């Protein structure tokens, strides 16, 4: 199997379109706000959507492309966070949190890839004996 980086990129763009505003909203929240959990779920939903987009573009390997789209997005966001923290003279992210978020991203992307394989609702079957 060959990775189609265009499909991965398309999925990553969808995920980034959700992630950037969610992260900006999270930064605007006061420290300790419980709304962070809601935003995290929205972020994961964006990664699922990105994985679905990548999976639809490569139906022969949707799980791989979905996971790569989500991991690419998370990697780009992680680089941005590390750079921002270095500029602000803050500590680097916790390694355990980074690994956890990468695993969650991969799982969300795989779920999106799996969802891309689902067909729409079945067409209704015609009634063999319609009423006269």
Rounded distance between C-alpha atoms, residue 58 and residue 52, angstroms: 10
Supply the pTM of this predicted model.
0.85
Question: pLDDT averaged over the chain?
Answer: 90
- DSSP character string of 34-56: THHHHHHHHHHHHHHHHHHHHHH
Contact predicate 62/117, CB 8 Å = yes
In the chain, alpha helices (H): 5-28, 35-57, 62-87, 95-116
Condensed to tens digits (0 to 9), the pLDDT of residues 68-117 reads: 999 999 999 999 989 988 998 888 889 999 999 999 999 999 999 999 99
Rounded distance between C-alpha atoms, residue 28 and residue 46, angstroms: 19
pLDDT band at 1 (very low <50, low <70, confident <90, very high): confident
- Residue ranges of the domains in the chain? 5-116
């Amino acid at each position: 199997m060959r990775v189609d980086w265009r499909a991965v990129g398309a999925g990553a763009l969808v995920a980034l379109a959700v992630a950037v505003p969610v992260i900006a909203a999270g930064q605007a929240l006061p420290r300790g706000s419980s709304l962070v959990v809601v935003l995290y779920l929205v972020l994961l939903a964006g990664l699922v959507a990105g994985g679905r987009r990548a999976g639809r573009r490569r139906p022969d390997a949707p799980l791989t492309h979905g996971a790569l789209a989500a991991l690419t997005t998370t990697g780009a966001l992680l680089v941005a966070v590390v750079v921002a923290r270095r500029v602000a003279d803050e500590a680097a992210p916790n390694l355990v949190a980074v690994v956890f978020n990468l695993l969650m991203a991969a799982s969300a992307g795989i779920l999106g890839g799996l969802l891309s394989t689902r067909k729409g609702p079945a067409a209704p079957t015609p009634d063999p004996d319609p009423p006269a």
